[in-house]
Amino acid sequence: MFIGLKSNNIKTLKTIFRNPLLSISIGILSISTLVVFLATKSSYNAIEIASVWVRNHFGQFYLYLGLGCVLLLLGVAISPLGKIKLGKPSQGPEHSIWAWTAMLYSAGMGAGILLRAVQEPVFMQQNSPYPSQVSPDILALVYTFYQWGFTAWAFYGLFAMVIGYFLFVKKKKVLVSATIEDVIPQKSFKIAIDTLTVITTVFGLVAAIGLGTTQINGGLNHIFSTQNGLFTTLILATIISSLAFYSAWSGVNKGIKVISKINILITLALLLFTFVNSDMSAILINFYKATLQYLKDFIPMSLAYGDYDPGIVFLTDWTYYYWAFWIAWAPFTGIFIARISKGRSLRQLLLGVLIIPSLGTFFWFSVFGTSAFQLMEGWGTYQGEFAGVFSSIFIFFANYPLATILNVTTIVLLIGFLVTSVDSAVFVLSMFSDKGKKNPSKTHRLLWSIFIFLTTVALILLGNAKPDIDVLVAAQKLLIITSLPFAFFMVAMTFLFLRQLMKK
């Protein structure tokens, strides 16, 4: 793996550590990790207080931002601006629609759809967000669609559109600061913006890896009736980080694209098997009804307006957290989508990003949600069998033929999705730190792979060192805090981007 490293890499490493963006980002993240480890309870309390403050004062802002992103992207797509090509006018798409969809979906959602496939629809059915004349089953699917649909992909699509435009049309570097450098050229401000982007990205990524490895561990315990603990989780983190590094090292075409295609094929096989072995007519009916209801209620749900307000506690536990999570993932996912969208028009990019993965996600949750509802109805009483985030899908598959094969496949798919999320992030972070190059140095990819791995291990060790504190929950709440300044920057970035377009 390391054969490709050239003899001048020591010199290259010295140069990298003189890189302000890289050194400042790693310094901040290292100090933050150390402080949390040395003062865990105090840090947790501070995070809790700050997250409540953000929720109370800026929760509604997150909702406005999400709806605004969806409406903006639709407006650009259907307007004459949608004809703008990301690249030369005569240039066709760099990747086929199949490869493009596979890569953007693997990077953008991945393990999350397995984590929540059964647990979230069932929770929504048992705890309706708000009173409604719609049946509990349909409302549960509608609210799940809402949290995984247009808004999530609009956050990604916004960055893909802006970065793609500046990268392929304006010939700028692959840096978030490149979107504002014509207006604010000061180097210190640009470094601050890119550092904020890096820190937000790393927090979002580490939280996702922590959740994913915990679910894989839960699946192994369920399949083999074991009680694997810290050591197994660390082994899993090591395997995922190593595979992600190899994929990022190989590049977009050799590593990331291949693993993404494999992920999607396995996902489709798992989805098709579950669909065929369930009540297909009920699934299709629910998918149709819930999708229509989602489209009908999208705007009032997005504003938590009137009868569609589920309350501050529900919003904090679910919607605010999701919006913060999508915002945290937006820089590296959006930039990765921009990177693979060369040759497409803004209209193709935006409508593709908004519609294709959203409909796929809706059908996914319709299959698993409807099937879980029917299992519960058949049991007569529900005793919380699907309440566990990390075990629900494995318990679900226990009711199907070839349960062991399905569960093993799910674990393989979890690993694959985590690998594609991490390798995409490593590739994008490397582009940031390597002066915005579209094909960053492999040494940068190695550095970010190692640092993300070490940060993940620190989080896992912290969670086991302090059993009275749920560190993963703290990491999720931390996202609500760290995403806030970046959310404000998104507004400024969008304004400057639109002003740039209007000059054309």
Give the mean model confidence (pLDDT) for residues 466-476.
65
Q: What is the CA radius of gyration of the chain?
A: 22
| Mean pLDDT rounded to a whole number for the chain | 84
Max Cα distance, the chain (Å): 69
DSSP state letter for 317 = I
The whole-number pLDDT of residue 161 equals 92
Q: Could you tell me the pTM of the whole model? A: 0.87
**Domains contained in the chain, CATH given:** 62-502 (1.20.1730)
Instruction: Please tell me the distance from the alpha carbon of residue 120 to that of residue 140, in angstroms, as a whole number.
Output: 8
Distance of CA 249 to the CA centre of its chain: 21
Q: From CA 54, how far away is CA 298, in angstroms rounded?
A: 24
Report the distance separating Cα 238 and Cα 85, nearest Å. Answer: 40
Confidence (pLDDT) at 30? 84
The residues with which 85 forms a beta bridge, in sequence order, are 345
Please tell me the predicted confidence (pLDDT) of residue 102.
Answer: 75
The predicted-structure confidence for 119-171, as pLDDT tens digits, reads as follows: 999 999 999 999 999 999 999 999 999 999 999 999 999 988 998 888 888 88
Confidence of residue 109 (pLDDT cuts 50, 70, 90): low
Q: Which residue has the higher pLDDT, 225 or 467?
A: 225
- By three-state DSSP, how is residue 214 classified? helix
Q: Is-contact 346 81, C-beta < 8 A?
A: yes
pLDDT digits (tens, 9 = 90+) for 389-442: 778 999 999 999 999 899 889 888 888 888 877 877 788 788 888 877 777 887
